[in-house]
Amino acid sequence: MKTKKLHSRRTFVKASALASGGLLAMSMPWGAYARYADDTIKVALVGCGGRGTGAAAQALSVKQNTRLVAMADAFADRLEDSYKALTAKSFKDWSGAEVNVSTKVDVPKDRRFVGFDAYQKAIELADVVILTTPPGFRPAHFEACIKAGKHVFMEKPVATDAPGVRKVLEIAELAKHKKLNVVVGLQRRYETSYREMMQRIHSGEIGDIIAGQVYWNNDGVWVIDRKPEWTEMEYQMRNWYYFNWLCGDHIVEQHIHNIDVFNWAKNDYPVRAQGMGGREVRKGKQYGEIFDHHFVEFEYADGAILNSQCRHIPGTMSRVSETIIGTKGRASTYHNHIITDLKGNRLWSYRKKEKELNPYQVEHDELFEAVAKGEFKFQDAEFGAKSTMTAIMGRMATYSGQVVSWDEAFNSNINLMPDKLAWDALPKSLPDQNGLYPVAVPGKTKVV
Average pLDDT over residues 154-171: 98
Question: In the predicted model, is pLDDT for residue 22 greater than 60?
Answer: no
CA separation for the pair 413, 3 (Å, rounded):
8
- The packing angle between helices 9-19 and 381-400, to 10°, is 160
DSSP alpha helices (H): ranges in 61-202? 76-87, 118-123, 138-147, 162-178, 192-202
Model confidence over 177-203: pLDDT tens digits? 999 999 999 999 999 999 999 999 999
Neighbouring C-beta atoms of residue 268, cutoff 10 Å: 19
Average pLDDT over residues 421-436: 97
Quick one: which of 164, 157, 360 has its CA closest to 253? 157
This prediction has a pTM of 0.92
Model confidence over 277-319: pLDDT tens digits? 999 999 999 999 999 999 999 999 999 999 999 999 999 999 9
Question: In the predicted model, is pLDDT for residue 32 greater than 70?
Answer: no
Residue 90's pLDDT is: 81
% of the chain at pLDDT higher than 90: 88
Residue 1's pLDDT is: 41
Model confidence over 134-148: pLDDT tens digits? 999 999 999 999 999
Architecture of domain 192-357+389-410: 2-Layer Sandwich (3.30)
Average pLDDT over residues 315-343: 97
Residue 29 φ/ψ, nearest 5 degrees: -60, 145
Residue 407's pLDDT is: 98
Quick one: which of 49, 26, 44 has its CA closest to 118? 44
Residue 7's pLDDT is: 46
Question: In the predicted model, is pLDDT for residue 33 greater than 80?
Answer: no
Average pLDDT over residues 209-229: 97
Average pLDDT over residues 386-410: 98
Question: In the predicted model, is pLDDT for residue 36 greater than 60?
Answer: no
CA separation for the pair 403, 407 (Å, rounded):
12
> What is the residue extent of each domain of the chain?
9-189+359-379, 192-357+389-410
427 neighbors 232 (Cβ within 8 angstroms): yes
Residue of higher predicted confidence among 26 and 407:
407
Residue 354's pLDDT is: 87
Per the prediction, the chain carries an average pLDDT of 92
Q: Is 224 helix (H, G, I), strand (E, B) or coil?
A: coil
Average pLDDT over residues 223-235: 97
Task: State the burial class of residue 222 (Cβ atoms within 10 Å of its Cβ: 0-12, 13-18, 19+).
Answer: exposed
Residue 94's pLDDT is: 58
pLDDT category, 75, cuts 50, 70, 90? very high
% of the chain at pLDDT higher than 70: 91
Average pLDDT over residues 224-247: 98
pLDDT category, 153, cuts 50, 70, 90? very high
374 neighbors 32 (Cβ within 8 angstroms): yes
Contacts of 270 (CB under 8 A, 6+ apart): 9, 298, 299, 300, 306, 390, 393, 406
Neighbouring C-beta atoms of residue 433, cutoff 10 Å: 5
Residue 98's pLDDT is: 81
CA separation for the pair 6, 411 (Å, rounded):
9
Question: In the predicted model, is pLDDT for residue 344 greater than 80?
Answer: yes
Cα 59 to chain centroid, rounded: 17
pLDDT category, 8, cuts 50, 70, 90? low
The CATH number corresponding to 9-189+359-379 among 3.10.450.50, 3.40.50.970, 3.40.50.720, 3.90.660.10 equals 3.40.50.720
Query: How far, CA to CA in Å, does 241 sit from each of 70, 94, 129, 138, 221?
Result: 26, 18, 23, 15, 8
Model confidence over 251-272: pLDDT tens digits? 999 999 999 999 999 999 999 9
Residue 281's pLDDT is: 97
Query: Hey, what amino acid is at 273?
Result: A
CA separation for the pair 383, 257 (Å, rounded):
12
Cα 161 to chain centroid, rounded: 13
Contacts of 25 (CB under 8 A, 6+ apart): 375, 376, 377
